[in-house]
Amino acid sequence: MNKEILNLLKKGLLFAAFAIPAYLVLLLITANWAPDPLKRNINFRMGSYGHMHSRLKEVRESGQVELLFLGSSHTYRGFDTRLFEAEGWRVFNLGSSSQSHLQTQVLLQRYLQSLRPKLVIYEVYPGTFATDGVESSTDILSNDVVDRYAWTMVLKTPGLKVFNTLVPALWSDWTGQKSTYIEEAVKGPDTYVPRGYVEMELQHYKTVRDTSSREWTWRSKQLRAFAQNLEMLKDAGAEVLLVMAPIPPGHYRNYKNTAVFDSLMQNHGRYYNFNDLMLLNDSLHFYDAHHLNQLGVEAFNRELIKLLKDYWLAL
């Protein structure tokens, strides 16, 4: 190695010794104090949309449950824990925004042993099989401890936004910010309900007529994580029901390969697609293109509770 190359390497190391710490400090400053327009590649939001911080804080103290809900925002906005508790069941809703199966896996690794559910309602919205998982990874990094499971999740959902969120998430762990943070139960139209549900003020979807044909797609890494999650639940002795929650019928009808998705889910276990089992109205029972309003949640949950009662009796 000649002298010029050695000098070049030395300059590179000196630059890295300055640039890396400077970048990390800049990340912390930006994550904590910069206005949102300057944080396009950072998504560190403690107490973010969806009350994930409150949900995770509560699940650590939950203890054993009979019924556990897993899945995306369709879960924490679609399964009202109060209605199931009224039936005498101890429940917990562990849904989170855009939760893909990679993030479900992290939550199961952390909390399945303490929750020890008898029955798991695993909400299987097809979109969660197509996502890269970045949004949900940053949500969990921002609101839960960064442990070995979080590092594995980061490796499986690589990207600048995930790395940039990891740094302030680690810092907030080390400084105790996460453990002392208190999230408000009422934020805008959302109210956090104990055991993980979020109730939205009653609103009605202003339907936009859209007849464009679409198809569901899915990623192999999400399918693998889904299969691994089912195996983990089986090993823990939990029964599993796969449930596709209702979405506005006007949108649901645009997807042309729903039967393929139904068949895929049926190959993995007992599966119920409530879009085909119930007759709901776009504007009466939904508040946007994805989520049931409270009237829709109550109608959906009544039907599910009927099914669960039959299921329990059959056990």
pTM of the model: 0.92
Strand partners, 239: 119
Is residue 66 within 8 Å of residue 91, measured between CB atoms? yes
Cα–Cα nearest to 168, from 43, 19, 20, 17: 43
Strand partners, 123: 243
Q: How far apart are CA 214 and CA 252, in angstroms?
A: 10
Q: Which of 2-6, 136-140, 168-172 bottoms out in mean pLDDT, i.e. has the lowest?
A: 2-6
Q: Quote the pLDDT of residue 312.
A: 66
Q: Residue 97: pLDDT above 90?
A: yes
Q: Phi and psi for 165 in degrees, rounded to 5?
A: -85, -30
**Residue type for position 77:** R
| Residue 115, helix vs strand vs coil | helix
Mean pLDDT of 170-181: 93
Is residue 221 within 8 Å of residue 54, measured between CB atoms? no
Structure tokens at 176: 């105790």
Is residue 98 within 8 Å of residue 219, measured between CB atoms? no
Find tokens 């993030």 and name the residue. 103
Q: Quote the pLDDT of residue 314.
A: 60
Q: Quote the pLDDT of residue 99.
A: 96
CA distances from 119 to 21, 71, 85, 86, 200 (A): 47, 14, 14, 17, 26
CB proximity list for 282: less than 8 A, separation 6 or greater: 205, 207, 248, 249, 250
**pLDDT 10s digits, 5-59:** 888 888 888 887 888 888 888 888 888 888 888 788 888 888 888 999 999 999 9
| Residue 225, helix vs strand vs coil | helix
Structure tokens at 108: 């199961």
User: How many Å separate Cα 31 from the centre of its chain?
Assistant: 22
Cα–Cα nearest to 236, from 87, 61, 69, 113: 113
- HEC readout, 152-182: HHHHHCCCHHHHHHHHHHHHHHHHCHHHHCC
Helix (H) or strand (E) holding 123: strand 119-123
Mean pLDDT of 141-157: 93
Q: How far apart are CA 96 and CA 242, in angstroms?
A: 17
**pLDDT 10s digits, 182-228:** 999 999 999 999 999 999 999 999 876 777 889 999 999 999 999 99
User: How many Å separate Cα 55 from the centre of its chain?
Assistant: 11
User: How many Å separate Cα 304 from the centre of its chain?
Assistant: 21
